[in-house]
Amino acid sequence: MSTKKNNLLISCEEAKHICDKMQYGEATFLEKLKLNLRILWCKATKSYSKRNVNLTKLCQEAEIKTLDTQKKNEMKEKINTSQSQA
């Protein structure tokens, strides 16, 4: 007798995990299908998905810049040098 589960039904936690991966283009086609099926009937997943997509959009619009690690290390060195000279 087959004990295989219906793989298209996922938990809320799993749906959130797939939704997070989707924001970075790392969800597979099957995962997207599972998520979209859950969104059809689960309000919590639908709400999370909406907020998550919104956050991705905001981060893209904001065009946040960060200093690279090398530059940060240079800054740390200069601070250390300046502190040791003082």
Partner 1 sequence: MPKNKLDPSKWVDEYADYLYNYTITRVNDTIVAEDLVQETFLAGLKSAKNFKGEAAERTWLISILKRKIIDHYRKINSTKGKAEVKMGYSNREDQEGDWLEDTVADPFDINAEDALQNKELGMAIQECLMKLPKKQADVFIKKTIQGMDTEDICKELNISASNLWVIVHRARTNLMDCLENNWFKK
Q: Which is nearer to partner 1, 17 or 37 (CB)?
A: 17
Count of chain residues binding partner 1 (CB under 8 A): 31
Angle in degrees, CA 67, 65, 68, rounded to 5: 20
Q: Among 31, 5, 37, which Cα is nearest to 17's? A: 31
Q: Which is nearer to partner 1, 2 or 84 (CB)?
A: 84
With beta carbons less than 8 A apart as the criterion, state whether 9 and 35 touch.
Answer: no
- Is residue 70 within the footprint of partner 1 (CB under 8 A)? no
CB of 2 to partner 1, least distance (A): 28
Q: Which residues, 6 or more positions from 49, have their beta carbon under 8 angstroms from its beta carbon?
A: 15, 19, 35, 39
- What is the pattern of x (binds partner 1, CB under 8 A) and - over residues 19-58? -xx-xx-x------------------------xx-xxx-x
